[in-house]
Amino acid sequence: MPSSKRPRILAVEDNSETQLLLEHLLKESYDTKVVPGVKEALSSVENGSFDVLLLDINLSEDQTGTDLLHLIREQDGMAQVSAIALTAYAMPGDREDFLEKGFDEYVSKPFTRDDLTEAIESTLNPA
C-alpha cells in the first residue's frame, strides 16, 4: 500500500519558542521545515519545493514576512505556492490587509493546532 505524500511546509519564524511550537504542532501531519529568517528561507526554497509557506510577519527590522513572500514568489516554480501569514496583528481589517498583500490565509497569534491545520488544509484544498 503506497504511503500518501505528506505536504511540505516551510515555516519561517524568528522566535525560537514559536519555532519549537510549530515543529511540535505540525510534525504529525506535515513534512515541516522551520527556519529562523529570510536568508534561510530563500536558501530552503532554492534547494527544495514546498506546498505551503507559513510566514511570520515580524521577522526582522529590515524585512517582513510580506517582503519574503514577494521574494519567494519571484523564484522559479514558486509563483503559485500557498502562503499563510502568521502574525500577532489581530485587529479588525488585518486579515483582509494580508490577503490583499498576496497571502492565501491568515493565522493570528496565539494559535492552536486547529488554527494552523485549518489554514493549511484550506490552502491545500481550496473550496
Residue 4's pLDDT is 63
Amino acid (1-letter code) at residue 113: R
pTM: 0.93
Looking up cell 498583500 gives: 101
Q: What is the pLDDT along the chain (127 residues), one digit of tens a residue?
A: 444 689 999 999 999 999 999 999 999 999 999 999 999 999 999 998 999 999 999 997 788 999 999 999 999 889 999 999 999 988 999 999 999 999 999 999 999 999 999 999 999 988 7
Task: Give a three-class secondary structure readout of the chain.
Answer: CCCCCCCEEEEECCCHHHHHHHHHHHCCCCEEEEECCHHHHHHHHHHCCCCEEEEECCCCCCCCHHHHHHHHHCCCCCCCCEEEEEECCCCCCHHHHHHHCCCCEEEECCCCHHHHHHHHHHHHCCC
Domain coordinates of the chain in residue numbers? 8-124
Residue 2's pLDDT is 43
Residue 76's pLDDT is 86
- What's 8-124's CATH class? alpha beta
